Amino acid sequence: MQLALLSIFYLFIPAVILYLCKKSTLVKKIGSIVVAYGVGIIMGLSGLLPDGSAQIQDIFISASIPLAIPLLLFPTKVQEWFQLAGPTLKALAVGMFSVVITVFIGYFIFKPEDAQDFWKVGALLIGVYTGGTPNLASLKVMLDVSNETYLVVHSYDMIFGALYFLFLITLGHRFFLKFLPPFKMRDGLQKEYFDDEPIFDKIFNKESTIPQLKVFGLAVLILAISAGLASLFPQDYFMIVVILSLSTLALAASFIPGVNKIEKSFDLGMYFILVFSVAVASMVNLKDLVSASFDLIYYPAFVIFGSLLLQSLISRFTKTDADTLMITSTALICSPPFVPVVCSAIKNRNILVPGITVGIIGYAAGNYLGFIVGELLKLF
């Protein structure tokens, strides 16, 4: 009975968080992921978890990400990737390059002498700093990263990420304008874009129930196909093949208009990301965070600020404007939901859509890039 109630808790709380994001400005600003982690940590430390809860937690952690990936990628408009203005596309390439280079450099700086799986940390950082939490969670499942390592990396990522974001929305614009050119209006960016759409509105709309059930059914079908394909490979590669296959098939399905245009498929995917977040955070052990190796603490900080520094230096030579640099870095390091806030802070809504598009490309590429970099790091 207690385990059944715990299962209901993991399914119910994320829906409450999404509803609060829709109704509360404060919760929206804090962010659904942060709230989900907070609730999960409180639950884990409360002593209310029943015996056998680890098995339930493992089920929700293992199932939620494979269901979330297709739902997050179905709304992707791949065709629009090729319509990005030249400066934005150039800034995207420089931003991803900067993240990859700093992950490699940081790996050799912070790798402990006796650590055999430290390459997994590098892969996780590639995922979260080219895509976001969905990619971080996907790579955790794909690479069989321990819960302790995942929680430490993600916890300190959120701490240093908050400091990075605070810098961007306060001093960042004036700082970058000292050595980068100001933004100039380009073709295709004459229209003003505003972030006035109520978030998570459709997911609670009865009219959206049937369409969302359809995309959920398609996500389950893609998961079944991916699992069947993965069964043809050695057991060690099972989750790797499942995640990469899910990403590929979901992107292929995004070309189907009936799938691509279903509203709020992304929000339904975020619901499963929150299920994952609450479940994994409820396994937190404060001793793991306090006693974490300095290598795990400083590595995320080095990648965040090191990639921003490298991207800034390269942008100086490529003559990328300050606004495009900031919005591209935000989309990669923080993920698309943070893009409108930075646009508002620098008073330039014209780069909102290109910035969000950059973030979506990061979502789509993060799993592949994280896996490739992880395999390369494993060689050293």
Long-range contacts of 31-39 (CB under 8 A, 24+ apart): 31/337, 32/270, 32/274, 33/133, 33/273, 33/274, 33/277, 34/158, 36/274, 36/277, 36/278, 36/281, 37/154, 37/155, 37/158, 37/277, 37/278, 37/281, 38/281, 39/13, 39/278, 39/281
Model pTM above 0.85: no
CB 108 within 8 A of CB 337: no
The pLDDT of residue 193: 37
The pLDDT of residue 175: 93
The pLDDT of residue 139: 92
The pLDDT of residue 102: 97
Q: What are the average pLDDT values for consecutive 10-residue runs of the chain, which has 380 residues?
A: 85 88 78 83 81 84 85 79 75 94 95 85 94 86 87 85 86 92 64 43 65 88 92 81 87 84 76 86 69 76 95 93 92 80 79 81 89 92
* Interacting residues of 337 by C-beta distance below 8 A, sequence separation 6+: 31
Of the candidates 300, 279, 287, 293, which has an alpha carbon nearest to the alpha carbon of residue 41? Answer: 279
* Interacting residues of 131 by C-beta distance below 8 A, sequence separation 6+: 332, 335, 359, 362, 363, 364, 365, 366, 367
The pLDDT of residue 179: 92
The pLDDT of residue 314: 95
The pLDDT of residue 83: 63
The pLDDT of residue 205: 65
Residue identified by tokens 């297709």 is: 70
The pLDDT of residue 84: 65
Q: At residue 233, what is the residue type?
A: F
The pLDDT of residue 76: 78
